[in-house]
């Protein structure tokens, strides 16, 4: 059975996902697209030679009997409406981060999915599918370094444009670490704090960059997370877990080593699209395969989207307060317990 997919938002990542589903992956077909910029939707059909219909909006696309599943790749503030409409129509939903821009919005989605009675939603937290993070998780789960005690990580972008704001360092960028790190150590967050090192001259006048976020888990693990979105040298994701008997570290991205002009070196990626290319493929292939084989997506859940939103809210509060801010989650619904969430029984 081929999963018939409608795409809501044919911008950068929407087109990337259309490309991979159409050209690289198996089991899915793009049959519908929509974008508030209708020319962008038409251009996507043309670019990928899709046998797909252009719809005027998300609601009409979701209502189509020819659509089994939707990909929500619009701007973050538009996600909640499309996800809620997808659930109400009984459609499978793959939603790019954020699931919703507020914790309350994520909880509304959780409650709608619980009321529906089975999982429909997967959130695009692709780092759980990255081979480096999966190797880290296997080592931690197998107690290779004993109990994890601390984590040091860095999320560095070469540059961002003037529309990028201080809170986006949390809600748009650190949200990836927020999701992958509690999954990595299988431990919820307790509190967060934000500090500001000396500012880089390469940041816009309104942007505080870099930032350092300290997260503490319920089990006492301390996480030092650097966010530096104008680092200039490359797109660089680092993660090191320090345990009782050793250290495990995210492997460097494989790259040719060269000796030339008296220099020895390797190249560093400059773009997130390239750094997580395989992870994006694997998360979407898993979405389609899981629906076909189990009737439900098995990837990051709407509850994971809620955890990310609650934690991001606490971080944004800490950006202004400079204090430790508590992370307070509700009770996890039964629907999300016992979920095989990419290698961990939760």
Ligand X SMILES: O=C1[C@H](O)[C@H](O)[C@@H](O)[C@H](O)[C@H]1O
Ligand Y SMILES: NC(=O)C1=CN([C@@H]2O[C@H](COP(=O)(O)OP(=O)(O)OC[C@H]3O[C@@H](n4cnc5c(N)ncnc54)[C@H](O)[C@@H]3O)[C@@H](O)[C@H]2O)C=CC1
Which residue ranges make up the site for ligand X (CB under 6 A)? 157, 172-173, 176, 272
Q: CA-to-CA distance for 131 and 128, rounded, in angstroms?
A: 8
Taking the complex as a whole, how short is the minimal distance between the CB of residue 57 and ligand Y, in angstroms? 7
Count the alpha carbons within 13 Å of 50 in the hemisphere toward its beta carbon.
30
Radius of gyration of the chain (CA): 20
Site string for ligand Y, 102-141 (x = CB under 6 A): ----------------------x-x---------------
Is residue 28 a contact residue for ligand Y (CB under 6 A)?
Answer: no
Q: CA-to-CA distance for 179 and 309, rounded, in angstroms?
A: 10
Binding partner of 10, given ligand X, ligand Y, none, CB within 5-8 angstroms per partner class: ligand Y
Binding partner of 8, given ligand Y, ligand X, none, CB within 5-8 angstroms per partner class: ligand Y
- Backbone φ/ψ region at 186: left (φ over 0), alpha (ψ -120 to 50), beta: left
Taking the complex as a whole, how short is the minimal distance between the CB of residue 76 and ligand X, in angstroms? 10
Nearest to ligand Y by Cβ — which residue? 11
Is residue 53 a contact residue for ligand Y (CB under 6 A)?
Answer: no
Cβ contact 19:8 at 8 Å: no
Q: CA-to-CA distance for 185 and 149, rounded, in angstroms?
A: 10
Q: CA-to-CA distance for 290 and 286, rounded, in angstroms?
A: 6
Residues in 271-330 that interact with ligand Y by CB under 6 A = 272
Taking the complex as a whole, how short is the minimal distance between the CB of residue 329 and ligand X, in angstroms? 23
Q: Say which residues have a Cβ less than 8 Å from residue 203's Cβ, sequence separation at least 6.
A: 209, 229, 230
CB under 6 A: which stretch of 75-83, 99-107, 161-169, 217-225 binds ligand Y?
Answer: 75-83
Binding partner of 298, given ligand X, ligand Y, none, CB within 5-8 angstroms per partner class: none
Binding partner of 313, given ligand Y, ligand X, none, CB within 5-8 angstroms per partner class: none
Alpha-carbon distances of 224 from 55, 142, 177, 221, 274, rounded to whole Å: 45, 23, 11, 10, 25
> Rounded to the nearest 5°, which phi and psi values hold at 3?
-75, 120
Give me the residues that bind ligand Y (CB under 6 A), please.
8-14, 34-37, 40, 58, 73-76, 78, 96-97, 124, 126, 172, 272
């Amino acid at each position: 059975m081929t999963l018939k997919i409608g795409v809501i938002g044919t911008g950068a990542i929407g087109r990337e996902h259309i490309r991979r589903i159409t050209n690289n992956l198996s089991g899915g077909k793009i049959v519908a697209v929509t974008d508030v910029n209708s020319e962008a939707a038409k251009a996507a059909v043309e670019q990928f030679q899709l046998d797909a219909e252009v719809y005027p909006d998300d609601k009409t696309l979701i209502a189509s009997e020819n659509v089994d599943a939707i990909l929500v790749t619009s701007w973050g503030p538009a996600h909640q409406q499309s996800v809620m409409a997808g659930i109400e129509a009984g459609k499978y939903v793959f939603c790019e981060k954020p699931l919703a821009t507020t914790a309350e919005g994520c909880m509304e989605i959780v409650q709608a999915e619980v009321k529906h009675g089975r999982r429909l939603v997967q959130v695009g937290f692709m780092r759980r599918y990255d081979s480096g993070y999966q190797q880290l998780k296997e080592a931690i789960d197998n107690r290779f370094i004993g109990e994890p005690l601390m984590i040091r990580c860095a999320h560095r972008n070469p540059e961002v444009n003037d529309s990028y704001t201080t809170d986006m360092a949390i809600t748009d960028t650190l949200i990836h670490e927020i999701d992958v790190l509690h999954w990595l150590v299988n431990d919820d967050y307790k509190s967060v704090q934000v500090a500001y090192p000396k500012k880089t001259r390469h940041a816009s006048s309104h942007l505080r960059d870099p930032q350092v976020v300290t997260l503490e888990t319920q089990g006492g693990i301390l996480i030092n997370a650097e966010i530096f979105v104008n680092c200039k040298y490359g797109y660089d994701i680092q993660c090191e877990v320090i345990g009782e008997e050793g250290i495990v570290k995210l492997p460097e991205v494989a790259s040719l080593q060269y000796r030339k002009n008296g220099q020895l070196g390797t190249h560093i990626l400059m773009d997130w699209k390239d750094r997580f290319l395989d992870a994006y493929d694997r998360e979407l292939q898993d979405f389609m395969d899981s629906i076909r084989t189990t009737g439900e997506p098995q990837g990051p859940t709407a509850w994971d989207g809620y955890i990310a939103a609650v934690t991001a809210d606490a971080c944004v509060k800490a950006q202004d307060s400079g204090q430790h801010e508590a992370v307070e989650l509700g009770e996890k619904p039964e629907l999300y317990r016992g979920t095989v969430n990419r290698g961990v029984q939760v």
